[in-house]
Each structure stands twice: as C-alpha cells, then as structure tokens.
Amino acid sequence: MKRALVSVSDKTNLVPFVKGLVENHYEIISTGGTKKKLDEAGIKTISVEEITGFPEILDGRVKTLNPYIHGGLLAERDKPEHMKTLEKLNIHTIDLVCVNLYPFKQTIEKPNVELADAIENIDIGGPSLLRAASKNYASVTVVTDQADYDRVLKEITENGDTNLKTRAELAAKVFRTTAAYDALIAEYLTKQTGLEDLEKLTLTYDLKQKMRYGENSHQKAWLYEDALPKKFSVLQAEQLHGKKLSYNNIKDADEALRAIREFQAEPTVVAMKHMNPCGIGRGKTLEEAWDRAYEADSISIFGGVIALNRQVDLATAKKMHKIFLEIVIAPGFDDDALAVLEKKKNIRLLQLDFSHENEPVRYETVSVMGGLLMQEQDVLNENVADWKCVTDVKPTEQQLKTMMFALKAVKHTKSNAIVVANNERTLGVGAGQPNRIDSAKIAVKHAGEAIDNTAVMSSDAFFPFGDCVEYAGKHGIKAIVQPGGSVRDQESIESANKYGIAMVFTGYRHFRH
C-alpha cells in the first residue's frame, strides 16, 4: 500500500480528502490534532510514533523530524542504493504529504499579540516535510492548499497516482508558500528589533486578482495585496457598484486616497486625473466642497477619480451624476445618494472605512529595471510655526492657512509641481513639467481671473531661479510657500519683495515622481 502523511492546522475539507485517499488504498500517517480528527471520523490512522519509534517531545515541537519520516520522503525511487538503504533500515516510502502550516499570519494579525505567541506559531516540522516532499516531487505528491484536494484526488482515482506535471506544479506552490511564510516571519522579527538597512529585503504579497490588462491593452497585469493588508487602502474598499477596477483605476484611486487623508478637519473633495489632482475643494458641507473641486477644473474632472472624506449625501450625488466619473470613493453613501449614482452604468462606487486613514504605513516600494526602490512615505506633518518668513511682507494668519492647504495639494502633484490656491479650492495645477517655470505658467493660466488677493502659490521644491516668483508677482500672487534651499534663493526673495509678496520657506521639499 502507498502511504500518505497528513498533518494540518486548518482541517477544513480534510475528512473527505483523506477518505478518498483511503478508498484508493493509502495508509494514513498522522499526528496530534489531525489524527484525533481523522480517528473521530472513523478513518484508521497510524501515529507518527509508530513509524519513528520515538515519542513526540517538547510539547509537540519535535515529532516528524526523524529519518524514518524524511528518509521515506527523500529516497529517490529509481536509485537502487537508496531503496536498499530503506530496506536495510526498515524505512517505508511516503508517497503523499498533506500539510498546512501553523497560523503565524493569523496570530500576528491579532491586536496586541504577544511575542511569545508569535514565536510559538512558527512552524518547523511542517515546512521541513513540505520541502522534503517537494524536492522529491518526481515520486512524491505534496499538498498544502485545500484548493488542490479535488484535483489530486481526481487524478489518483482515475490514474492510480498524480501525474508528473501536477506534482511539479504542487511542489512549486509549496516553495512559494514556505518562502512567503518565512518572509512574514522575517518581517515580524525584524520589526521587533527595529533594524534598518537590511542586507536582504523579504516581501510577500497575495494575488488579489488577475487584471484584464495593464496600463495598456497589450500588457498583462496582476494585482497583489500585502500579506498583512492595510485597512486604509483601495484594495480593502467594498465595491458597491460598477465594473472591476482597471490597473489605471487602482493607481488613480490610490493617489486620491493619499491626497484625501491630508484633509480631515472639514468636508473635502479630491478630483484625481492621471495621478495628479485636477481639483481639490473644501467647504462647510460636502456639496460645497464638490462645487469648489469641480470649479477648479471643470474640463479635466471629466472621467476623473473622486475621493470624498464624508459620507456622500443626495445633494452631492445629484451633482456628481451630471458628469462622467470613473470612480467615487468615500466613507459611505446615503441610500438615496447611492440610488442616484447607481443609475450610471460605468461608474465604480467604492466604500472604505476612513477611521484607519492615520494607520502607520511606513514604507513604499517602486520597481526599476533589475531592482526595487524602497522609501518612507511622505507623511510629514508640517507646522506653520516651523516655517521661516524670508520677505519684508509677512503672511497673515489667513494666508498661512491657505499656504498649508496649497502645500498639501502640491505634495500629491507630480514634479515639477506648482499649485495656485485660495482657502476654498485649488485654482490651478501645474504638474510634471521638465522645468519649474513651465509648471508655474500652467498653474497661473489655469487659475486665470480667479487669482485675487487671497491666492497663494505653493511649490514642491525650491525655485532654482527668480523667474517663477517674478511670474507669480506679475499675475497677482500675494503669498508663496516653498522649501527654500537654492543657491539663488536671494533672487526669489528680491522678486518677492519687489511685488509685495509674503514668502515662507518650509525647509522640506515634496517631490513626487
């Protein structure tokens, strides 16, 4: 008879699978709770102790780590010397391993988990069994995913064994599983130590969905989610209406969420288009905030991604319904508001718990050819009290508030980035230009006649020359916020003084590439 070793933490669908093995003339070796479960189901099992002649020790930490187990897994069936060794030592081959691992991930996801609990849920014997069986997949079937139970059982029932292709695929899945398992352990223990500048970066993600295509229709794409999902994420949003999100939808929605979490104190609407805000508006009500975001750029908002930081009401929904929008993402929707927006077939409506918007998400990564860049997210919380006024004219309290609003907007605009804004909304956005003066000209042109004595300009990095300030002054800008730090800062300061502009240096740039 063939033998199967079965030892699982998650026993879902286990009994029918093992019954199927028995019906196909497999003897079942099992351990601990798995053996108890199978015995209770009336399935005859052999204990590991009967195979090894050695009891489980150290509270079950050592049970399958034994030559009578691993010899039966690793022996190459087509090598006579291997088989003679097994015969000499009375070791029986093991033909199938069914193992899933201790719930380490589920343990560390628990609030306030103790280190000792996490350590106790690091599986040692399980990965060893899986890896040994996978190394010898030419002869051994290895199952670690319940989704494969039916496939394996079907092949065994129809053919007497699994085919080589199946065993190879299952072995590859095992190594992906154990690699991800170890990556989570490495990440958790590294976090406990507080180490940085790691010599190895171990990351693991779970497939969320296969995309229809990537940025363009000829590109294949997949969506993977952090193995420890972040709650304030478009990937955690509940989709209430519309088609599945596309690759570009997800990128725009992510950027919209990054921007909207900057504005928490009052109702705010962010309109994102191609990873740049085309309009940000705030007001006493959500409807008022929408009106201002729309007014900021009524052309570019068409087909945009909208993030709102308050539950969508009927009045706001009616106004959004008038134009084509790709996505609306918010903490919730009133029933009547949802009914109005759902009339649009192609709009995607996403609901997300905004109570987690301040959860720490420390690092972000981006791929480059041949490697990966990792950095801390730009979540710097600036304070106007730390800013330095460098001009003769000092900013008023209201100008400082408007500067902060404009600075938060420019943080989420592609570099070179210039934003012109008043205290209610962005007036003009200049993004992604190779030089800063062109971004300034675009922002000022967009703002147009809306520029008045309340308008300010923000820049994501210092002005390399005085031309941007000169241009701002000629077009009525009365306050500027920028990092400072250029060797030509004095040119900008002199231009500001010439036009009576109040200019402050923050000391921090906010490039977004």
Q: Catalytic site residues?
A: 135, 274
Question: Is 360 within 8 Å of 381 (Cβ atoms)?
Answer: no
Distance (Å, rounded) from C-alpha 91 to C-alpha 241? Answer: 59
In what side-by-side order are the strands of the sheet with 325-330?
238-241, 348-351, 325-330, 304-308, 268-273, 276-282
Residue 218's φ and ψ, nearest 5 degrees, are -90, 0
Distance (Å, rounded) from C-alpha 202 to C-alpha 408? Answer: 32
Kindly give the pairing relationship between strand 502-505 and strand 388-389.
antiparallel
In what side-by-side order are the strands of the sheet with 141-143?
46-47, 26-30, 2-8, 96-100, 141-143
- Sign of the Cα torsion 52, 57, 63, 65 reads negative
Closest CA to 107 of 191, 185, 34, 194: 185
DSSP collapsed to 3 states, 4-50? EEEEECCCCCHHHHHHHHHHCCEEEEECHHHHHHHHHCCCCCEEHHH
Stretch (H or E) spanning 445: helix 436-447
Residue 485 tokens, joined: 């730090």
3-state secondary structure of 505: strand
Residue 96 tokens, joined: 């199938």
Closest CA to 418 of 395, 397, 435: 435
Closest CA to 41 of 59, 21, 25, 55: 21
Distance (Å, rounded) from C-alpha 251 to C-alpha 317? Answer: 23
Q: Any idea which residue has 């908002």 for tokens?
A: 301
Whole-Å CA distances, 169 to 105, 143, 259: 24, 10, 42
**Distance, CA of 471 to chain centre:** 41
Looking at residue 394, its amino acid is K
Question: Is 64 within 8 Å of 99 (Cβ atoms)?
Answer: no
Question: Is 2 within 8 Å of 26 (Cβ atoms)?
Answer: yes
Kindly give the pairing relationship between strand 46-47 and strand 26-30.
parallel
In a 13 Å sphere around the CA of 31, the CA atoms on its Cβ side amount to: 28
Distance (Å, rounded) from C-alpha 412 to C-alpha 432? Answer: 11
